[in-house]
Amino acid sequence: RGNDPHDSDPDSDSDKKDDNSSDDSDSSFFEESVPNAMTSKTSQAGTTVFTYKPYGNASALEDFNEKASLSTRIRWLEKFQSMAVQGGWSDKMRIYEMKLKLPSSARDWRYNLDESVRHSWKRFLKAFKEKYCKAKTSDSERYYSMTQKKTEAPLEFFYRLNRVADKAGINFRKSSKERERHFKVFMKKLLDSSLRSTLQGQRLHSLEDLEFVLKQYEEMHQDDDYETPPPRRESRPDYMSAGKFRPKRPAKAYVVQ
């Protein structure tokens, strides 16, 4: 009786069936999408010419990670589309290769899409971008909540803030009032308080003015790193190691020409 099929777990077979047939509606679609490596053409003289078309898949691209940062997910999609263009993939092939790169959670999301969306690259790409490559906050909210990263130079942060400001529709490039407000937002977010004080004391009329000061700032810090290497511990005088004397660094000025 132990071999009686009626004694088996009724859920076990159904689970396996669900796992194996979750994409049955896609099976014929994907079979048709596999490209032919060789095509033939017969001329009027009866000569058959074979043309070999090398096919490159997305094996060189890492699997998609839906838990990665937004910028990483966007970059992944850009790489995928670049490979598709270089490989000459058809729309069916793009959908096929994309599916192979998706984790199980993303495949489950895809399976719940309408069949007309799953089988259309244009519609599926739009749905994919909406789901995984779109910021949950608006560009305006992102602009005002941005902060300078510890590993980010002030000039790099300035460029990044400008890009988000453009997306948020802030007309800082043409409007002097918007530009002045944009500069204040940038200064407020700077990690270096001394640079912030210096910028607040300058008359900055254009983006080029601020960019010039930030470039001066970077050059001076690069000179500091080159000219004043950290002293070796064994060569320090006793009064310095004891913290009794700390020479002050000369103040630096950044002048807008």
The pTM for the full model equals 0.50
Q: For residues 237 and 229, what is the distance between their CA atoms, to the nearest angstrom?
A: 16
Quote the CA–CA distance of 144 and 168 in Å, as a whole number.
10
CA distance 200 to 184: 8
Whole-number Å distance between alpha carbons of 136 and 158:
23
Collapsing DSSP to helix, strand or coil, 153 comes out as coil
- Quick one: CA dihedral 17, 20, 26, 27, positive or negative? negative
pLDDT reading at 17 higher than 70:
no
The alpha-carbon radius of gyration of the chain (Å, integer) is 30
Tokens standing for 171?
A: 């007309």
155-205 pLDDT, tens digit per residue, is 999 999 999 999 999 999 999 999 999 999 999 999 999 999 999 999 999
Q: 65-75: per-residue pLDDT in tens?
A: 999 998 899 99
